[in-house]
Structure 1
Amino acid sequence: MDVKSAFLNGFIEEEVYVRQPPGFESAKFPDRVYKLRKALYGLKQAPRAWYARLKSFLLKSGFVMGSVDKTLFLLSRSGDTLIVQIYVDDIIFGGSSHALVSSFAEQMSREFEMSLMGELQFFLGLQIKQGLEGTFVHQTKYTRDILKKFNMGDSKPMTTPMSTNTALDADEDGEAVDQKKFQGMIGSLLYLTTTRPDIQFAVCLCARYQASPRTSHRQAVKGIFQLGLWYSSGSSIFLRGFSDTDHAGCRIDRKSTSGTCQLLGTSLVSWSSRKQASVVLSTTEAEYVTAASCCCQLLWMKATLSDFGLRFGKISLLVDSTSAISVAKNPILHSRTKHIDVRFHFLRDHYEKGDIDLVHVVSANQLADIFTKPLEFDAFTCLRVELGVCHPF
């Protein structure tokens, strides 16, 4: 559902005065100003005032606000559950009872002027197909639009986003290209990674050269450009994470690239590919730092999912470095690891508490490998399938 003129529904607590708008000036008091009683578009308090109004209404209606995500509201009634997710003036909702869902829609329509959009098919640029077997989320229309925007509609498809022979660097002797257009391409691709985790690494690598893009960087970006993510229904519910690292992979500053992904059952929920903040001295240290980052995300997801009534014990974090696992499990300092920043021992602390179980996985089954470096076609295709990236059905 979409709330019409949502920001006009908010009440402001501060005293705000505005000039008399043209055409509505008072002939008797031309030099006076108006005092606002409600929020207006353009007012910096308007988004907060709208959220406060909507939150107050939902809480009075019996909803419980999420303990982690404050835009999540849940209602339990007679054994049924209704879930409401807010994004500014767009509201997604669903429940286990059709009567409960219909009642909520009617209740909202009485309180606010809104339009009901029916079954969720399009949201924030994402196309959504729902079926009995699962849900498919993709950006086919968006992909076609950006290909047309950058005059690449007739480009030859590539088997992988980036060749294993690609070795990007500053290329200071290369020919400079239009920086604004290059940044536009990067921005468009970054949004595309919402449903295309398989291009995450290639996009993030190219994004490092936005300050001074060259022809080589533009060619790499063009190689990246109707796949999407498949979420199977009825799969078992368990939480796990994968972490991997490409040690000293950056050719400029020799910093490592961290790749992580988190799955709920067999469905990919969260992923990242980013360059580490500092240079590390060994593969072990690079893997340890990445595992700590993955641990943070898993604990956040665990807390968020608890609002949905899902409880998890020890969460598996799969790492392909036995030495990094040993560092986390063994609190004894060694000369090669004693310099590691204390904040990364967050991982060891949660392992000892029993929140995280560090599990070794062979490199061939390391799903996060796709977020750290370019891969050969066979390995890339295999991991992409495991992550749930597929063609529209």
Structure 2
Amino acid sequence: MGSVDKTFFLLSRGGDTLIVQIYVDIIFGGSSHALVSSFAEQMSREFEMSLMGPKRTFVHQAKYTRDILKKFEMGDSKPMTTSMSTNTALDADEDGEAVDQKEFRWMIGSLLYLMATRPDIQFAVCLCARYQASPRTSHRQNVKRIFRYLKFTPELGLWYSSGYSLSLRGFSDADHAGCRIDRKSTSSTCQLLGTSLVWRFCALERLQVEGVDNALIKGEIESQWTGLIDLLV
């Protein structure tokens, strides 16, 4: 276990090394094909994973996606090509009709779990999750749109390959005071190891003026622990 990051693990065996990072996603690799394959087999027995050959892994939750569509009676809904409209401006909607809070939280919780392999829905889900305390019809409609998007893209997931460069790249962005409701900034960062996504983050900034700077700071902090991989491979 890492001394700084408690979700970062190293296993040394017979001169070979296995690297595992566990947060929501499970990212792993190593210097020995046998060691990596053994770990992959153990994980496949516990989680839904598709192993695409010795150097490629596709992690998805297609079965879970179909299960929650059925659970919330969205299996026959009309598919949507996006999870949220670009014109959406959710607010508390205090004058709107209240909906079942328990069901709304159940829907949000199901989507939060799915975000482990679906970063494309992260922003839309987290925006809707802000209104769990007092959900309205408008909030539920936006959540249902996310489900309709999942109906259109049930088999999307994360692709990991060890056959390419292991160079570490980071990206940061922020829309300064872009929120239409409270003028907060939305910042996001991601880290790529070669062509594989190994870290992502998205949040509304509390400090509006420093939104862009905060995005860069977050990217720098995250790259510090991710950079450990470059020293080990």
Fold in common (TM above 0.5): yes
In the other structure, the counterpart of 2:225 is 300
Listed as ranges, the gaps of 5+ residues in structure 1 are 1-64, 106-115, 311-393
Aligned-residue RMSD, C-alpha: 2.9
Identical amino acids, percent of aligned pairs: 66
Residues 70-219 of structure 1 mapped to structure 2, 5 A cutoff = 70=6, 72-77=9-14, 79-82=15-18, 96=32, 98=34, 118=41, 120-121=43-44, 123-124=46-47, 126-132=48-54, 134-219=56-141
CA distance in 2, matches of 1:157, 1:267: 28
- Scaled by the length of structure 1, what TM-score is found? 0.51
Q: Secondary structure at the match of 2:104?
A: helix
- How far the C-alpha of 1:264 sits from its partner, in A, is 0.6
The structure number with the bigger radius of gyration is 1
Deviation string, structure 1 residues 197-252 (Cα, Å, up to 9, x no partner): 11111111111111211111111111112211111331101111111112223333
CA distance in 2, matches of 1:93, 1:238: 14
Output the amino acid matched with 1:179: Q
Deviation string, structure 1 residues 85-124 (Cα, Å, up to 9, x no partner): 899xxxx9976164x789xx8xxxxxxxxxx994643545
Residues 36-55 of structure 1 mapped to structure 2, 5 A cutoff = none
- Scaled by the length of structure 2, what TM-score is found? 0.82
CA distance in 2, matches of 1:101, 1:138: 19
Q: Is the 1:82–1:101 contact (alpha carbons within 8 Å) kept by the matching residues of 2? A: yes
Report the number of matched residues.
221
CA distance in 1, matches of 2:21, 2:120: 27
CA distance in 1, matches of 2:144, 2:103: 12
CA distance in 1, matches of 2:42, 2:95: 53
Output the amino acid matched with 2:63: K
Residues 276-295 of structure 1 mapped to structure 2, 5 A cutoff = 276-280=205-209, 285-295=210-220
Output the amino acid matched with 2:17: T
Q: Is the 2:16–2:30 contact (alpha carbons within 8 Å) kept by the matching residues of 1? A: no
Matched, 1:245 2:174: yes
Q: Secondary structure at the match of 1:162?
A: coil
Q: Secondary structure at the match of 1:248?
A: coil
Residues 18-57 of structure 1 mapped to structure 2, 5 A cutoff = none
Higher relative CO (Cα under 8 Å, sequence separation at least 6) belongs to: 2
* Residues 1:222 and 1:301: Cα distance change in structure 2 (over 3 Å): same
- How far the C-alpha of 1:309 sits from its partner, in A, is 1.1
In the other structure, the counterpart of 2:151 is none
CA distance in 2, matches of 1:86, 1:264: 15
Deviation string, structure 1 residues 125-155 (Cα, Å, up to 9, x no partner): x433332451100000111111111111111
Q: Is the 2:191–2:200 contact (alpha carbons within 8 Å) kept by the matching residues of 1? A: yes
* Residues 1:81 and 1:179: Cα distance change in structure 2 (over 3 Å): same
- How far the C-alpha of 1:69 sits from its partner, in A, is 4.4
In the other structure, the counterpart of 2:192 is 263
